[in-house]
Structure 1
Amino acid sequence: MNKERIIFCDFDGTITVNDNIVAIMKHFKPPGWDELVDQVVGKKISIRKGVGAMFALLPTARKKEIVDYAITNAKIREGFGEFVAYCKEQNITLLITSGGIDFFIYPLLQPFSIPTDHIFCNASTFEGTTIEILWPHRCDELCSTDCGMCKTSIIRSYDQERYERIIIGDSITDFEGAKLVDTIFARSHLIDMCKQLDYPYYPFETFFDIMKQLEAEPIS
């Protein structure tokens, strides 16, 4: 029996050309944000702690300014709209699995008619004096990395005997998930990780590259 294809697709730096969280921090420059990024990259603190601490540096009084910048600054990677349509045509389940935040992910994905229950990301509240990030998709009992939005937990919830699991990503948030799937589409830092661990992967620059490879048989 052929397995059903399911795709776990990152958002920041994958669907979008740039990393939206980093772009927000670089633009508004809250004191201490860059040290927090270094600590996350160096694995001195978890992704959840780092991202939560970064947004806690931003005042909710600037909500409109921050949200407007995040949405207008983002650029969708070439071919994504066609890729969404291709997945629907081929009955491929497309899940957006992102460590990004709801206030920019949902508006940016709205034109593509992706079901809300196929979008997994972090949530936010602007009720306090600073932005608070919420974590509706935390790690399961098999993950101890304190991801915040745990991609491996979501991947594990889809039986590998039934599904051909495919990941598309670019960064540190995709490292652990890439170890669990059948096929990796990688760019940027995820390529470095695949090379270090000698994992096979397909590089991509646009979603047209991914569609071309998905159409080739067989995928290994």
Structure 2
Amino acid sequence: MTIHLLCDFDGTVTQDDNIIALMKRFAPNEWITLKDQVLSREISIEDGVGAMFRLLKSSERETFTRFLIDNASLREGFPEFVRYAEEAGLSLTFVSGGIDFFVHPILAPFAGPERIYCNGSDFSEETIRITWPHACDSQCDNGCGCCKPSIARRLSRPGDLVIAIGDSVTDFELAKQADLVFARDHLIRMCEQEGIRYVPFETFYDIIDGLKFRLEVTK
């Protein structure tokens, strides 16, 4: 049996959501309506995120990237969590609704590209076009963008344990099918509305402690 840790990035690995930080700093106010429509599930994540990045000029790529790398703050205990997963023999994969041009450089000290699933970006047009290399499979039609449940189905085998770690709407579909959910912020409210059991966390030390306890119980 393989234990798969599928960990979100924005607002989970990092203290703040990088897309929101980018939009607040550089985008015109139209992004706010799009964000609210995504959170209320009025429009799909794919439609909303794609439209938000169409508000940003491709020529500013270097500025955007530097801003996010310089301002990203890792959640407390994250390096220790990565080390714990490796030492415990757990399969740690990062599944992100974020975009490659900032997700990969921020995670580079902790994970190679083969362990990172996120959305892509195309800067060849006047405004940024988001690409979807990990779109929904035939079992999902939610327009997830980076479809976390599809990735879970691809990585896991019958008898494996899937553990979701996240904070928002991009993690909700995965939370529905996971064997164990670690949640914070908006994901907590969504889990409570749908009756999904979860373990709350604020730091990665909380997750390490929760994993140690629950995995010991399952032995």
Could you tell me the TM-score, scaled by structure 2's length? Answer: 0.95
Instruction: Confirm whether residue 39 of structure 1 aligns to residue 22 of structure 2.
Output: no
C-alpha displacement of 1:65: 1.1
Kindly provide the CA deviation profile for residues 143-193 of structure 1, in whole angstroms up to 9, marking residues without a partner as x: 010111100101122445331110000000111100111100000011112
Residues 31 and 57, structure 1, Cα contact 8 Å, conserved in 2? no
Task: Identify the residue that residue 150 of structure 1 maps to in structure 2.
Answer: 147
The answer to whether the aligner puts 1:204 opposite 2:201 as a matched pair is yes
Q: Does structure 2 retain, via aligned residues, the 8 Å contact 1:12–1:19?
A: yes
What is the identity, as a one-letter code, of the residue corresponding to 1:83? F
Please say if 1:136 is aligned against 2:137: no
In structure 2, what is the equivalent of residue 74 of structure 1?
A: 72
CA offsets per residue over residues 40-85 of structure 1, 9 Å max, x none? 1222211101101110110112111111111111111011111111
How far apart, CA to CA, are the structure 1 residues paired with 2:191 and 2:157? 20
What SS does the aligned partner of 2:94 have?
strand
Q: Superposition RMSD on alpha carbons, in Å?
A: 1.4
Q: Percent identity?
A: 50
Please name the residue that 1:23 is paired with.
21
Shift of 1:30: 2.0
Query: Of Structure 1 and Structure 2, which has the larger fraction of its residues in helix?
Result: 2
In 2, the alpha carbon distance for the partners of 1:55 and 1:158 equals 29
Check whether the contact 2:4–2:156 (CA below 8 A) recurs between aligned residues: no
- Residues in 1 aligned to 2:175 and 2:130: alpha-carbon distance in whole angstroms: 25
Amino acid of the residue matched to residue 166 of structure 2? G
Give the Cα separation in 2 of the matches to 1:60 and 1:116.
23
Distance 1:77 1:203 in 2: 14
Residues 159 and 96 from structure 1, CA distance in 2 versus in 1: closer, same or farther, beyond 3 angstroms?
closer
SS at match of 1:133: strand
Equivalent residue in structure 2 for 1:191, among 184, 188, 191: 188
1:98 to 91, 96, 99: 96
In the alignment, is the contact (CA less than 8 A) between 1:155 and 1:180 conserved in 2? Answer: no
Unaligned runs of 5+ in 2: none
Aligned length: 217
- Amino acid of the residue matched to residue 128 of structure 2? I
Contact kept? 2:27, 2:55, Cα under 8 Å: no
Q: Deviations over 1:80-128 (max 9, x none)?
A: 111111111111000100000011111101111x121110000112111
Indicate the SS of the match to 1:144. Answer: coil
Which of 160, 163, 168 is the equivalent residue of 1:166? 163
Match of 1:175 among 172, 176, 181: 172
Deviation at 1:194, TM superposition (A): 1.7
Quick one: distance in 2 between partners of 1:159 and 1:80? Answer: 24
Distance 2:142 2:192 in 1: 22
Bigger mean CA offset, 125-134 vs 18-27: 125-134
